[in-house]
Chain A
């Protein structure tokens, strides 16, 4: 069965960086894009960007341009999202989600369990 398993909770200081992993299983890792979505406590979903695990190509929401990096290791079917220059506003649950390849950004059919990132002095 398809699974996306994310790394554990992180606590970071303002100005630091965080790197969250998302390990895929149950399907061919390079056949689907991976997107990242975050959700602050009590708030809505916010799309951050996408990565094609086959080519490594990426696309980001303007808000995160220059501050987010999305990479992958195809040998271990794992995607990574690194966010730098953290502030308290980055405190949120971060999700990875699988998206079928195709034109545009379509639907997210499987989601990771979420990773809590807390930014605190």
Chain B
């Protein structure tokens, strides 16, 4: 199972909005609504930011939102803040009854 495809890096200025894409196939992203997004700061464990494509866990800012179209899911962060600078990973359930992660995207807040 190949990793989902994410851009290696994205950047934005404080207050701006950015989007991170996560491209898979009909056997994973396109076939199931089990796409999640995780934020990871250096030296820390990942933190769940979005689950079920577009659901936010309690306590996660509403500046984070998720969506999906076909085989590509997206995480959008609006009103960028310095604390959003981190690595972001998508994940999806697959038709092989396994889970696959994206390669990760480094977000830089300029």
Contact = CB atoms under 8 A, between A and B. Distances in A.
**How extensive is the interface on chain B, given as a class?**
20 to 34
Interface in B13-58: 32, 34, 36, 38, 40, 45-48, 51-52, 57
B64 interface: no
A1 interface: no
Given A104-B32, A107-B36, A47 B101 contact: yes
A104 B102 contact: no
B74 interface: no
Contact of A113 (B45, B52, B93): B45
B12 interface: no
B72 interface: no
B69 interface: no
**How extensive is the interface on chain A, given as a class?**
20 to 34
Interface in B92-110: 93, 96-104
Contacts of B40: 45
Interface in A8-52: 35, 37, 44-47, 50
14 contacts: A35-B99, A45-B89, A47-B100, A61-B1, A61-B98, A95-B46, A104-B34, A106-B52, A107-B36, A107-B48, A108-B36, A108-B46, A109-B51, A111-B47
